[in-house]
């Protein structure tokens, strides 16, 4: 059996909802042991109770972010809970959290609080606004950050209200950024024997992804606008077009794709039209060009256009979620995995996008609340039954 690339790596995770659990699940899929620390006093991770598909202390929402992890109930605000945390830190590689920016220090989850316990430990915080700055103590969610970072002003139709991306893209990007930061910290700790703090925020992540929008706006007084049919800010044609039975996305970011498009659409005369010669010309006469292309695209179905254009012009159907999950490339890449769950039965989920030897292809389902508490305390820390009973009686661990 092939060894997983992160086998033997133990990460303590104090995180809930989407961003943090999404990121740590990527590491779990690569073989890391993720011990999910949940507060017994509040019923654990709040995402256990997210509707509509919820059963007791579990939900399909929770399952989508927490497969392959272990659940330990532990009250970190209790002095005895901090003692258990320190015992775990001694035998762990990293401590991860996605709390409010002021809470990691208060709960003793920073490197300054833990370096004397384990000088190699990496402490990664994925917060809404970071652990510094005027809004560090404020809670934040994907919805709010899309507003703060300007995403909503460039999403949607020009005559419509600001729009949110339909997928929690900042949560997920923040999860990935957090895991990159955590793994970088682990790599350096392996070389030096010294851990560190890693400070990631959703706002920083979102702002970093403004990328070329930001450099244009910062240096040339450029202001992006919402573009009809999800069009590109500067490239033409690069947008959605209605077809006879749906929509197609076309992205001509090179002149050779423009030439192939007009040839395969039966519009070679557009290549001789001075209004459409180069990118600046097509941008200057966008309204005329788009009108011509729209009138041609509605003559055929999406499938017919794909058959004509695919392999010559960058193009794609505008799929529903169900259609996306049935796409032949998605299936060929085995992006749908099956997990057996005691209540929900066999669950189909999307896999990690990282393909490498040793990845976990048959993971355990996300754990029940506190499912691994005793196993962790006895098997990893060597606690006896009397100690565990005392911790339970004091409310340090769950019932």
Catalytic positions, please? 171
Cα torsion angle, 57, 88, 41, 124, sign: negative
Neighbours of 211 (CB within 10 A): 9
Name the phi and psi angles at 212, rounded to 5.
-70, -25
């Amino acid at each position: 059996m092939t060894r997983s690339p992160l086998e033997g790596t133990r990460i303590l995770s104090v995180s809930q909802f989407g961003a943090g659990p999404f990121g740590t699940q990527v590491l779990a899929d690569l073989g890391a042991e993720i011990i999910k620390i949940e507060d017994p006093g509040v019923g654990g991770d709040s995402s256990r109770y997210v509707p509509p598909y919820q059963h007791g202390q579990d939900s399909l929402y929770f399952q989508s972010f927490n497969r392959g992890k272990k659940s330990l109930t532990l009250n970190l605000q209790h002095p005895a809970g901090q003692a258990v945390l320190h015992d775990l830190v001694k035998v762990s590689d990293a401590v991860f959290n996605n709390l409010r920016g002021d809470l990691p220090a208060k709960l003793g989850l920073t490197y300054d609080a833990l370096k004397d316990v384990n000088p190699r430990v990496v402490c990664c915080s994925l917060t809404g606004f970071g652990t510094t700055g005027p809004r560090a103590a404020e809670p934040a969610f994907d919805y709010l950050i899309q507003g703060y970072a300007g995403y909503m002003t460039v999403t949607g139709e020009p005559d419509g209200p600001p729009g949110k991306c339909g997928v929690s893209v900042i949560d997920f990007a923040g999860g990935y950024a957090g895991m990159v930061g955590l793994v970088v910290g682990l790599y350096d700790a392996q070389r030096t024997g010294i851990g560190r703090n890693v400070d990631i925020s959703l706002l920083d992540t979102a702002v970093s992804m403004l990328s070329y929008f930001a450099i244009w706006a910062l240096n040339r007084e450029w202001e992006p606008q919402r573009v009809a049919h999800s069009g590109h800010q500067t490239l033409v044609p690069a947008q959605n077009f209605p077809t006879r039975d749906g929509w197609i996305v076309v992205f001509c970011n090179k002149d050779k794709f423009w030439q192939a498009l007009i040839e395969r659409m039966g519009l070679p005369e557009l290549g001789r039209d001075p209004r459409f010669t180069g990118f600046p010309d097509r941008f200057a006469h966008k309204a005329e060009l788009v009108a011509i292309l729209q009138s041609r695209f509605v003559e055929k179905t999406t499938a017919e256009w794909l058959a004509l254009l695919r392999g010559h012009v960058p193009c794609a159907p505008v799929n529903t979620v169900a259609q996306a999950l049935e796409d032949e490339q998605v299936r060929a890449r085995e992006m749908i995995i099956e997990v057996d769950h005691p209540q929900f039965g066999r669950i189909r989920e999307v896999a990690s996008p990282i393909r490498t030897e040793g990845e976990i292809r048959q993971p355990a389902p996300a754990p029940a609340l506190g499912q691994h508490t005793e196993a962790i305390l006895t098997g990893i820390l060597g606690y006896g039954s009397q100690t565990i009973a005392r911790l339970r009686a004091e409310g340090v661990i769950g019932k």
